[in-house]
Amino acid sequence: MARSSTLAWRGERFRVTPWRGEGVVAHLSIDARGAHPTTTGVGRCVAEATERGFERILTAALHDDDLHPFVQHGFEPVEELIVLAHDLATLPTAPTYRVRSFRLRYRSEVLAVDERAFQQFWQLDSAGLDEAFGATPRARGRLVRDHHSVIAYSVVGLSGSEAFIQRLAVDPDHQGVGLGRALTVDGLAWAKSHMAGVAFVNTQRSNSAALELYDKLGFQRRSRPLTVMGLWLDDRPDDAAAGR
């Protein structure tokens, strides 16, 4: 499997990793601790991915302000994500389940739930799960088990006064009974107890079930979406491939 690498360029910081464990697809993410990406910085990432033998690059979800340098290199939209926010002023109610802390011994069960809950493009592998926990300075994983295995889990991150629902997955055989609501409210309560003033979550525009859940929990949709961009490395425009 291709290795992961961190690239730094004049204050910009990027991470290039194999996408969901696929050796031919690179996942390019921006480190929030760095500067906004530039055309030169993105170009260096493209060169790095090309040199390492990747055939395609997929980005993490990008804000509108960060899209231009990727477009300059021939990246095109792959998926649009709706951003929602909760002000945490009043927390919603939820069904009572025994919500447990995430433990390493449950890792394979958690990944199995993720595989069943999401389409292949969005499924997390082991490295993706690590990235969900490492995306913020502090994070907490929670899960619900039946008598046999994990049936739902969540990862909530905290960065300063902002919280982020990094992942929420419910096994399809156990959906519709309030597990997603219970785990989300549990995460919101944890965030509020640690002085967060707002909680964010994003999901695909096509994921109507998730959007309905967040709407019912009091999340408000933001007007500006996030965009996942993609680039086939052998299909770039000539000027982008030349770094112009």
Q: Domain containing 62 — which CATH number?
A: 3.40.630.30
Residues in the chain: 244
22 band by pLDDT with thresholds 50, 70 and 90? low
Considering the domain architecture, whether residues 126 and 182 belong to the same structural domain is answered as: yes
Q: Which one-letter DSSP state was computed for residue 61?
A: P
Type of residue found at 48 = E
95 and 152 inside one domain: yes
d(CA 61, CA 79): 9
Predicted local confidence at residue 243, as pLDDT: 45
pLDDT in tens, 37-48: 999 999 999 999
pLDDT, tens only, 172-217: 999 999 999 999 999 999 999 999 999 999 999 888 999 999 999 9
Rounded to whole angstroms, the Cα distance separating 190 from 200 reads 14
Report pLDDT digits (tens) over 72-110: 999 999 999 999 999 999 999 999 999 999 999 999 999
Indicate whether 34 and 100 sit together in one domain.
Answer: no
Q: What is the Cα Rg of the chain in Å?
A: 19
In a domain, 34, yes or no: yes
Residue type, 200: F
Residue 212 is assigned to a structural domain of this protein: no
Torsion of CA 216, 84, 45, 7, to 10 degrees: -100
192 and 119 housed in the same domain: yes
Q: Which domain holds residue 162?
A: 88-196
Regarding whether 107 and 71 lie in a shared domain, the answer is no
Question: Quick check: is 97 in a domain?
Answer: yes
Q: Is residue 204 part of a domain?
A: no
70 and 97 co-located in one domain: no
Q: Number of structural domains, the chain?
A: 2
Q: Are residues 95 and 76 in the same domain?
A: no
- As beta bridge partners, residue 18 has 26
> pTM, whole model, 2 decimals?
0.83
Q: d(Cα 59, Cα 16) in Å, to the nearest integer?
A: 9
Torsion sign (Cα): 168, 136, 62, 49: negative
4 pLDDT above the threshold of 70 = no
Say whether both 98 and 17 belong to one domain. Answer: no
DSSP 157-177: EEETTEEEEEEEEE-GGGTTS
pLDDT digits (tens, 9 = 90+) for 146-161: 989 999 999 999 999 9
